[in-house]
Amino acid sequence: MLARWRDWLAGRGRTQAPQVADDWPAAFARVPVLAHWSAGDRERLQQLALDFLAAKALEPAADATVDRIQALAIALQAALPVLNLGLDWYRGWHSVVLYPDEFRSRFEEVDEAGVVHQVDDWRSGESWAAGPLILSLADVAAGGQGAGHNVVVHECAHKLDQVDGDTNGHPPLHPGMDPAAWTAAFSDAYRHLGRRALRRLRTVLDPYAAQSPAEFFAVASELFFDDPLSLRDGYLAVYEQLALFYQQDPAAHWTAQPVGPR
Ligand SMILES: [Zn+2]
In this predicted structure, what is the pLDDT of residue 119?
79
Q: Say which DSSP state 131 is in.
A: S
- On whether residue 12 sits in a domain, the answer given is yes
Mean pLDDT across 51-66: 91
Q: How far away, in angstroms, is 218 Cα from ligand 1 center?
A: 6
Among the listed residues 101, 105, 18, the one whose alpha carbon sits nearest the alpha carbon of residue 60: 101
DSSP E strand stretches across the chain: 57-60, 95-99, 103-110, 116-123, 125-127, 133-136
Residue 109 lies in a domain: no
User: Is beta strand 95-99 parallel, antiparallel or unpaired with respect to 133-136?
Assistant: parallel
Q: What is the pLDDT of residue 216?
A: 97
Structural domain includes residue 130 = yes
Question: Would you say residue 134 lies in a domain?
Answer: yes
Most confidently modeled of 17-26, 116-125, 130-139, 151-160? Answer: 151-160
Q: What is the pLDDT of residue 129?
A: 78
Q: pLDDT: is 103 or 171 the higher one? A: 171
Residue 163 has pLDDT above 90, yes or no: yes
Average pLDDT over residues 158-181: 95
**Burial zone of 231 (CB within 10 Å; 0-12 exposed, 13-18 middle, 19+ buried):** buried
* C-alpha of residue 197 to centroid of ligand 1, in Å: 17
Q: What is the 3-state secondary structure (H, E, C) of 93-121?
A: CCEEEEECCCEEEEEEEECCCCCEEEEEE
In a domain, 262, yes or no: no
Residues of the chain with pLDDT > 90: what percent? 73
Question: pTM for this one?
Answer: 0.87
pLDDT, residue 4, reads 57
Ligand 1 geometric centre to CA of 84 (Å) = 22
Question: Which pLDDT band holds residue 56 (cuts at 50, 70, 90)?
Answer: very high
Residues with CB under 5 A from ligand 1 (ion): 215, 218
Q: What is the pLDDT of residue 250?
A: 97
Domain presence at residue 111: no
The per-residue pLDDT for 120 is 77
Q: How far away, in angstroms, is 47 Cα from ligand 1 center?
A: 27
In a domain, 252, yes or no: yes
pLDDT at 261 over 90: no
User: If pLDDT is split at 50, 70 and 90, which confidence band does 16 have?
Assistant: very low
Q: Are strands 116-123 and 95-99 parallel, antiparallel or unpaired?
A: unpaired
Number of domains in the chain: 1
pLDDT at 258 over 70: no
> Please, which pLDDT band fits residue 8 given cuts at 50, 70 and 90?
low
pLDDT of 14: 44
Residue 204: CATH number of its domain: 3.40.390.10
Could you tell me which residues come within 8 angstroms of residue 52 by beta carbon, excluding any fewer than 6 positions away?
Answer: 75, 78, 79, 87, 90
Q: Rounded to the nearest whole angstrom, what is the distance from the C-alpha of residue 124 to the centroid of ligand 1?
A: 9
Residue 237's closest CA among 206, 193, 207? 193
Q: What is the pLDDT of residue 95?
A: 93
Judge whether residue 159 has pLDDT over 70: yes
Round to whole Å and give the CA distance between 121 and 123: 6
Using an 8 Å Cβ cutoff, are 7 and 50 in contact? no
Does 14 reside within a domain? yes
pLDDT for 126 equals: 81
Q: Which residue range(s) make up the domain with 100?
A: 3-104+116-256
Give yes or no for residue 175 having a pLDDT over 90: yes
**How far apart are the CA of 233 and the centre of ligand 1, in A?**
23
Q: Residue 5: its pLDDT value, please?
A: 59
CA 185 to ligand 1 centroid distance, Å? 19
Average pLDDT of the chain to the nearest whole number:
89
Cα(210) to ligand 1 centroid in Å equals 11
